Structure 1
Amino acid sequence: MTTPAIREPCADQDLLLHGLLDGELDASNTLRAEAHLRECRACAAFYERLKAGRQRRTSGVRHRASDALRERVRAALAAEVASGAEPACAAIPSPPAEAVPVPARRRRMVERWPVALALAACLAMAAILPRVGDRAGSALPDELVSGHVRSLLASHLTDVTTSDQHGVKPWFSGKISFAPPVVDLSERGFALVGGRLDYLGGRVVAALVYKRREHVINLFIWPETPAQDGDRSVRMSREGYSLLRWTQAGLTFWAVSDLNPTELQEFEQDFADRVPS
């Protein structure tokens, strides 16, 4: 008779199944493991083998004391207490902590706690530092580039798509607390594509989108805040993108594009020339 081949469990389920058997999983992972067992015969068979092995190791180890022995022990303890003597069991020293056997799985978890705590601290710092950087102005250019790239990758270049400046400007009304200027620069080679709302530096901002050839220009606009935004004019690059910043008419403008710096500066000048002071 041929012995049926034993199928190995799924590689990503081995630890989960051991943890399920040991009762070490949280509710989410317990449900995940149990759902997998209902769908995967190999893992279900493996789990049954684990349980059978556990039962074989523990069967015959425990022996319940007889009722007569239990009564004699209770009587002896009661007599010692009545006589004022310390019970003999109290004199048995507890084993030192290091002598208490710890399951290997639980020992590995304890050993990993310092690493997990250090990682949690790093993640907490990462969540705090960008907010501090916003106030110092050092993280804002990175956020601007991220917003520019995100708009290209997420197919969210515009919320309102039109080349008509009179169609884009009214769209922002009621959505933000200021009126961003929208100008037509098509005769200068910068075609208006549309506009959208974005979120940068802890604030909702307006974003106008222009194109020159195949290059997209995101122009982010929000009310001027000199104490936070620093210098009135900035030119820099990040990760291959050019960034230009200027302030005008009580507003802050940031232009971001992979367009070469010279042409992006032309865009800045053409736009600024058409914005009322």
Structure 2
Amino acid sequence: MSCDDIRALLAARADGELGAADSLRMDAHLATCSACTDAAVQHDATVHALRQGLRAPGLYAKAPADLAARVRLAVQAEAGMRPALPSATRGRSAAGSPWQRLLGWLITPSRGLGLGLGAGALAAVALGVGVFVGRPDTVALTAHDITASHVRALLGARETDVLSSDRHTVKPWFNGRIDYAPPVTDLAARGFPLIGGRLDYIDGRPVAVLVYRSAQHPVDLYVRPEAGGDTDPALRTERGYQLMHWRSAGMGYWAITDASADVVQAFERAVRGN
């Protein structure tokens, strides 16, 4: 790892998000580089001070006793629901939707609003939880995770686990490592030579990543089973990286590169055989 790599990974180290291999490489570098060691110590001290500051009692306020009832009425009015039953009969009422049950758990008076939220923060959570739980933007979350994975691979010098331009070498490497067989295509004739492949984790499960090149730009193709029918390719930008997502034959495909949008679009056409 270079000094630039170390500085870029200090935040991930402080948050405990580094993988074992990156942690070992960072420790080895810090053992021989006093400048990076000083930067790491200063960064850790800043993070520690910030965390201590966020625990200050002055940031928290005791909620008024009637907050639970007021929040329930506000949520019911927003959703067009009937008023809550009296406490004597509430236990015999229907459980309600999942987000309503979560809301009830958050603001049950016996818990003393014990999640450490102030009155204003709790009200915001209560009013927004139905929207968030009911309609999460899973595509945006996945795009964020794939971008973070792509950047980690480049910074951590772990671009590939299997280094080969032969698809008959790369495809069998995944056998026994994941529970599906990703299609591996030789795209050298279309200007995207295969470099190799690796495993990564997206949404809490291992995912096959096929690594290609376009000139000096890496192009990663994340392939995993995805429910739903076939979809047309959709282009999006995340932190300056170009991503293309589509589904075909039960598989979801995510292509990402730091090159321009026309590169990832040409890559998508090559993968799809268009």
1:204 is displaced (CA, Å) by 1.3
Give the residue type in structure 1 aligned to 2:204: G
1:103-155 Cα offsets, whole Å, 9 max, x none, are xxxxxx9x933538569x99xx9xx9x99987633311111111111110011
1:99 maps to: none
CA contact (8 A) 1:133 1:140 kept: no
1:217 is displaced (CA, Å) by 0.6
Q: Report the aligned-residue RMSD.
A: 3.2
CA contact (8 A) 2:231 2:248 kept: no
CA contact (8 A) 1:134 1:201 kept: no
The whole-number CA distance in structure 1 between the counterparts of 2:163 and 2:235 is: 28
Identical aligned pairs, as a percentage?
A: 37
- Please list, as runs of the form range in 1=range in 2, the aligned pairs for 1:166-205 lying within 5 A after superposition: 166-205=168-207
2:46 maps to: none
2:256 maps to: 256
Q: Rg larger in 1 or in 2? A: 1
Give the residue type in structure 2 aligned to 1:217: V
The whole-number CA distance in structure 2 between the counterparts of 1:264 and 1:175 is: 27
The whole-number CA distance in structure 1 between the counterparts of 2:163 and 2:135 is: 33
1:180 is displaced (CA, Å) by 0.3
Give the residue type in structure 2 aligned to 1:157: E
CA contact (8 A) 2:231 2:247 kept: no
1:224 is displaced (CA, Å) by 1.8
1:7 maps to: none
Query: 1:235 aligned to 2:235?
Result: yes
2:247 maps to: 247
CA contact (8 A) 1:133 1:139 kept: no
Alignment TM-score, normalising by the size of structure 2:
0.51
The whole-number CA distance in structure 1 between the counterparts of 2:231 and 2:249 is: 16
Give the residue type in structure 1 aligned to 2:244: L
The whole-number CA distance in structure 1 between the counterparts of 2:273 and 2:261 is: 18
The whole-number CA distance in structure 2 between the counterparts of 1:224 and 1:252 is: 5
Question: What secondary structure, in the 3-state scheme, does the structure 2 residue paired with 1:226 have?
Answer: coil
1:231 is displaced (CA, Å) by 5.5
2:75 maps to: none
Alignment TM-score, normalising by the size of structure 1:
0.50
Query: 1:217 aligned to 2:216?
Result: no
Give the residue type in structure 2 aligned to 1:222: R
1:156 to 1:133, Cα distance in 2 relative to 1, 3 A: farther
The whole-number CA distance in structure 1 between the counterparts of 2:133 and 2:192 is: 34
**Runs of 4+ in structure 1 displaced over 2 angstroms?**
111-119, 130-138, 230-233
1:113 maps to: 57
The whole-number CA distance in structure 1 between the counterparts of 2:223 and 2:169 is: 17
The whole-number CA distance in structure 2 between the counterparts of 1:198 and 1:132 is: 28
1:258 is displaced (CA, Å) by 1.0
1:237 to 1:169, Cα distance in 2 relative to 1, 3 A: same
Structure 1: segments with no counterpart, 5+ residues: 1-108
1:233 is displaced (CA, Å) by 3.1
Give the residue type in structure 1 aligned to 2:255: A
1:158 maps to: 160
1:142 maps to: 144
1:226 is displaced (CA, Å) by 2.5
CA contact (8 A) 2:160 2:197 kept: yes
Question: What secondary structure, in the 3-state scheme, does the structure 1 residue paired with 2:247 have?
Answer: strand
